[in-house]
Each structure stands twice: as structure tokens, then as C-alpha cells.
Amino acid sequence: MLHYAVVFFVIALVAALFGFGGIAAGAAGIAKILFFVFVIMAVATFLFGLIRK
């Protein structure tokens, strides 16, 4: 999932470089959502791993 966040971030950077502001904003928003979902899932996995031990 982190991979997809990075891909959308790169798409946002390229779109912003070429002047496509709307596309860049959309891709950056998607990248931000995917990043936070990744962080939440990583923390949950870490906590469940601690609980199992």
C-alpha cells in the first residue's frame, strides 16, 4: 500500500510540473489517504503482534 502512495505522489509531482493543478491535487489527495491507511494498518499489525506474545 505504501508503494501505491508513493506512485500517486510521483504522479502528483509530474502533473504539477506540467501545470495540471487539478490532477496533481487529486493524486496528492489519494496519496495522502493511502499513506494514512498504511500507517494505521502498520500500527495495528504491530500492536496485534505485541498482544500475541
- Write out pLDDT tens, residues 2-52: 898 899 899 999 999 999 989 899 999 999 999 999 999 999 999 999 998
Predicted local confidence at residue 2, as pLDDT:
84
Q: What is the pLDDT of residue 1?
A: 76
Reduced DSSP (H G I as helix, E B as strand, rest coil) percent helix, strand, coil of the chain, to 5: 90, 0, 10
Q: How many other CB atoms are found less than 10 A from the CB of residue 31? A: 20
Which secondary structure element, helix H or strand E, spans residue 6, and what is its range? helix 2-17
pLDDT of residue 43: 96
CA angle 27, 18, 26 (to 5 degrees): 15
